[in-house]
Amino acid sequence: MSAPKIFPLWSSILRFFTVLVLVAVAAGVDNEAHKVLIRDVASVEGIRNNSLVGYGLVVGLRGTGDKQQTYFTIQTLASILQRMGVEIPHAVIQTTVQVKNVAAVFVTASLPPFSRPGMPIDVMVSSAGDARSLEGGLLLLTPLYAADGQVYASAQGPLVLGGYTAGSTANSKVVNHPTVGRVPGGALVERGSALDLAGLDHLSLLLNDASFSTAEDMASVINHEWSQPLATVVDSRRVEVKVAAAAPTAVPALLARIENLEVEVRRRAKVVINERTGTVVLGKDVRLGAVSILHGNFSIEVTTSYAVSQPNPLSNGQTEVVPQTKVSVTDAPARNIELSEGASVEQLVTRLQAIGATARDVVSILQAIKAAGALEAELEVI
């Protein structure tokens, strides 16, 4: 018996649908996992930034510094002058000294890994008193301390601001935050914080987002690259690498080779909402269960206006202000949305926009869907 004939048109249609199925399968696989470099999803334990903080003075302001009631500013200025040989009596400091061109500030910086003495770093300067602006100011020499109480850098230099203030107190204009500025390269490292890589017998790679599947894949990729069990998964965030097993490769060369390897990362379905701003961020892989949403608005508004009541002529009455209260109630009809099993984020957003839901409404609806167990994703409120 001969095989059935397929007409050219039907053959083209079959090929077309076959291509569609292959594209859909490929897209589905691509959505589940994608490859990224290890350096983008993990860091090496011990190689990190360190926070620095210091307290100092900004001078050279144009009358926009701290006022007299900010007592610690004058105390700091007197202490600096005393170290330079200028003595100011304590009684004079409390009653007479008025300096408007000085502002007390906190100085912060981030000490990068492998820092060496003499290396410049950027610093942020923020007003600690009631100064109106730090525009045109100069930061005096300020030591920067780490959490261990040791000085790791010293900062000094002119400030760069992203805003300004103009005018007097009654009529003034303020743009951005003139009480916060930067000193690019204004701090010099005084104490090194480099990690000695030569003495390490093992390294720990820490994932930015905890995931057992990503950790297992990372260890597998590293072991396949060296053709030996070099990496071991400790938990969902940590992968330990034996340095001695990779001999005679040096540690920097070993890390350079590891961080350029590709691993498969499966993103977690997650929804992030901010109730203060009404911001909602939904991942592409978020799915919804079969759910029906009934949403409506009910509001009560109470307003009070004041009217002036005048007495009749020759009645010896008094003029009085009479409050008039008005209560209005608005009850909008409930709006219904129905979503089938496995509905996507795009379908949910489209339906919510169709009924005129605001960002605040979306936040409330998502919380209710999560409580009903129909949101197949992690819900995080920030």
Mean pLDDT of the chain: 78
- Assess contact for 128 and 55: CB atoms under 8 A: yes
In a domain, 15, yes or no: no
Predicted confidence (pLDDT) at residue 156 exceeds the cutoff of 70 = yes
Q: HSE of 255 in the Cβ direction (CA atoms, 13 Å)?
A: 15
- Assess contact for 61 and 127: CB atoms under 8 A: no
C-alpha closest to that of 263 among 229, 227, 239: 239
Host H or E run for residue 107: strand 103-111
> Given pLDDT bands bounded at 50, 70 and 90, which one contains residue 119?
very high
In a domain, 348, yes or no: yes
371 & 326 share domain: yes
Predicted confidence (pLDDT) at residue 205 exceeds the cutoff of 90 = yes
83 & 108 share domain: yes
**pLDDT tens digit string along 296-322?**
665 555 666 777 777 777 677 777 777
Predicted confidence (pLDDT) at residue 6 exceeds the cutoff of 50 = no
**pLDDT tens digit string along 63-94?**
888 886 677 777 788 788 778 877 777 666 65
CA distances from 354 to 42, 336, 349, 360, 369 (A): 41, 11, 8, 15, 18
Residues 256, 195: Cα–Cα separation, whole Å: 16
Number of structural domains found in the chain? 3
- Assess contact for 102 and 137: CB atoms under 8 A: no
Residues 6+ apart with CB under 8 A from 77: 57, 97, 99, 102
Residues 353, 181: Cα–Cα separation, whole Å: 42
Predicted confidence (pLDDT) at residue 194 exceeds the cutoff of 70 = yes
Which of 149, 165, 189 is where one domain is finished?
A: 189
Predicted confidence (pLDDT) at residue 111 exceeds the cutoff of 80 = yes
Torsion of CA 363, 369, 371, 372, to 10 degrees: 160
In a domain, 1, yes or no: no
Which of 126, 154, 189 is where one domain is finished?
A: 189
Q: CA angle 127-132-135, nearest 5°?
A: 80
Query: What pLDDT score was predicted for residue 5?
Result: 45
In a domain, 97, yes or no: yes
| DSSP annotation of 204 | E
78 & 135 share domain: yes
Mean pLDDT of 166-183: 77
Query: What pLDDT score was predicted for residue 331?
Result: 62
CA distances from 333 to 184, 271, 297, 361, 369 (A): 58, 28, 7, 15, 20
In a domain, 358, yes or no: yes
58 & 156 share domain: yes
Query: What pLDDT score was predicted for residue 186?
Result: 93
96 & 203 share domain: no
Residues 265, 270: Cα–Cα separation, whole Å: 15
In a domain, 11, yes or no: no
Predicted confidence (pLDDT) at residue 328 exceeds the cutoff of 90 = no
217 & 178 share domain: no
- Assess contact for 146 and 109: CB atoms under 8 A: no
241 & 276 share domain: no
Tokens for 13, please give them.
């249609």
Rg (the chain; Cα; Å): 33
- State the residue range of the domain holding 156: 50-189
Between 344 and 204, the higher pLDDT residue: 204
**Alpha carbon 78 to chain centroid distance?**
39
167 & 61 share domain: yes
Mean pLDDT of 319-336: 69
C-alpha closest to that of 292 among 337, 357, 334: 337
In a domain, 355, yes or no: yes
71 & 150 share domain: yes
127 & 253 share domain: no
Q: CA angle 120-122-128, nearest 5°?
A: 130
> Given pLDDT bands bounded at 50, 70 and 90, which one contains residue 22?
very low
Host H or E run for residue 166: strand 164-167
**pLDDT tens digit string along 127-154?**
998 888 888 899 999 999 999 999 999 9
The rounded percent of the chain whose pLDDT value lies above 90 is 27
Which of 265, 282, 299 is where one domain is finished?
A: 265
Between 316 and 22, the higher pLDDT residue: 316
**pLDDT tens digit string along 246-290?**
767 788 888 999 999 999 888 778 888 887 777 778 777 787 777
In a domain, 78, yes or no: yes
240 & 127 share domain: no
258 & 284 share domain: no
Between 347 and 139, the higher pLDDT residue: 139
C-alpha closest to that of 195 among 113, 305, 99, 80: 113
Host H or E run for residue 172: strand 172-175
Between 223 and 200, the higher pLDDT residue: 223
Tokens for 291, please give them.
């759910």
